[in-house]
A = this chain, B = another copy of it.
Amino acid sequence: MSAFRILHRAAGSDARVGRLSLPHGDVATPAFMPVATHGSVKGLTPRDLRACGAEIVLANAYHLSLRPGADVIARLGGLHRFMGWDGPILTDSGGYQIFSLATLARVREEGVDFRSHLDGSAHFLGPEEAVRIQERLGSDVAMVLDECPPGDATREVVLAAAERSARWAARALAVRSRADQALFGIVQGGTDLALRAESVRATVALGFDGYALGGLSVGEARPTTWEIAAATAPLLPADRPRYFMGTGTPEDLARLVGAGIDLFDCVLPTRHARNGALFTSAGPLVLRHARYADDARPADERCACYTCSHFTRAYLRHLHMAREPLAVTLNTMHNVTYYERLMQEMRAAIEADAYQTFAAGVVAEEGQHPWPA
């Protein structure tokens, strides 16, 4: 169903370069997955997405199961055919979305009762249903259903959620039926290192194709996020891919790759694109600023993406100010390319045993040009 091969470990760092082989192709790791919540990276055709350098995308089983429905997608030949993307897809189980988007979520041992954020209709999702939905979608990597406590939850709540997540993980494993789909476990435990270690032990004991760190980047200080990841990642099996869910900025990625993380997803590049904010080698470029009104330069002079090869900052600003739909497409192409190139550069630095220097540069760059909070 999947194979992970580590090709190089960076000297003086836990960073590693690998190749994750999945039914729909290989993924060079560390890898960034653009987010296709509803089965589309907002504003990009699959060929655009490929041109940006993406090798794998993330889609949300929560959203797709509510609309258009996993059965509909299965009848149409699965998610790959549905969205016209023939490369690997990882689907999130929906745990995080139920706790952050749905209303009236109520957890019991069987699973979660919740109401759809779309129409208020009542639904139930348990670990078995989460596997079944993702098997119908036919993603390359499925995630177990986990319980995601809020960032400010007490130790008791975090502990109970981690223990329940482990029991749910065992139930997910027990019902999986597709040989052509990897299944990843999710480590919980909040910001408590002892709880994290215990969650790792319980999850790894079950034996998954890969392991994710969940329940981070949910409000804690960024150095705490990095610290938890750095302390937890080495406890995970070295020969399995490690996925940090739902983050982050270039600095976050640089630090987490240094901690030995292999997979990432984040809405930042796509969401900032829609808000007219571009990632560039000289820091954030916020298109609404008047100084770009007749700026004839490309968004990023060091970028070779379609947007930077064809359009000026002045035009991108104009499209953004006029709310032209093309603004979303062009800005997203650029930001996704930026993220994918960052990952390529990290892989090259690891292979050259120069990762620490490279990561320090990314950290310094972001320190000099931080994103507005």
Q: Separation in Å of the A94 CB from the closest CB of chain B?
A: 16
CA distance A274 to B319 in the complex (A): 17
Does A24 have its Cβ within 8 Å of any Cβ on chain B? no
Count how many chain A residues have C-beta atoms less than 8 Å from C-beta atoms of the other chain. Answer: 40
In the complex, chain B residues whose CB is within 8 Å of the CB of A329: 43, 45, 325, 329
Q: Mark A30-64, 1 if CB is under 8 A from B, else 0.
A: 00000000111111111000000000000000010
Contact A321 B84 (CB under 8 A): no
CA distance A326 to B333 in the complex (A): 13
Q: Mark A296-340, 1 if CB is under 8 A from B, else 0.
A: 100000000010001110110111011011101110000000000
Interface stretch among A13-21, A68-76, A211-219?
A: A68-76
In the complex, chain B residues whose CB is within 8 Å of the CB of A84: 310-311, 315
CA distance A63 to B72 in the complex (A): 43
Contact B306 A72 (CB under 8 A): no
CA distance A251 to B358 in the complex (A): 62
The one of B41, B75, B315, B325 that contacts A294, using a Cβ cutoff of 8 Å: B75
Does A201 have its Cβ within 8 Å of any Cβ on chain B? no
CA distance A294 to B67 in the complex (A): 12
Contact B68 A326 (CB under 8 A): no
Q: Separation in Å of the A49 CB from the closest CB of chain B?
A: 10
Does A83 have its Cβ within 8 Å of any Cβ on chain B? yes
Q: Separation in Å of the A270 CB from the closest CB of chain B?
A: 10
Contact A325 B324 (CB under 8 A): no
CA distance A42 to B294 in the complex (A): 22
Given contacts A45-B329, A76-B294, A293-B72, contact A67 B312 (CB under 8 A): no
CB within 8 Å of B: which residues of A?
38-46, 63, 67-68, 72, 75-77, 82-84, 274, 293-294, 296, 306, 310-312, 314-315, 317-319, 321-322, 324-326, 328-330
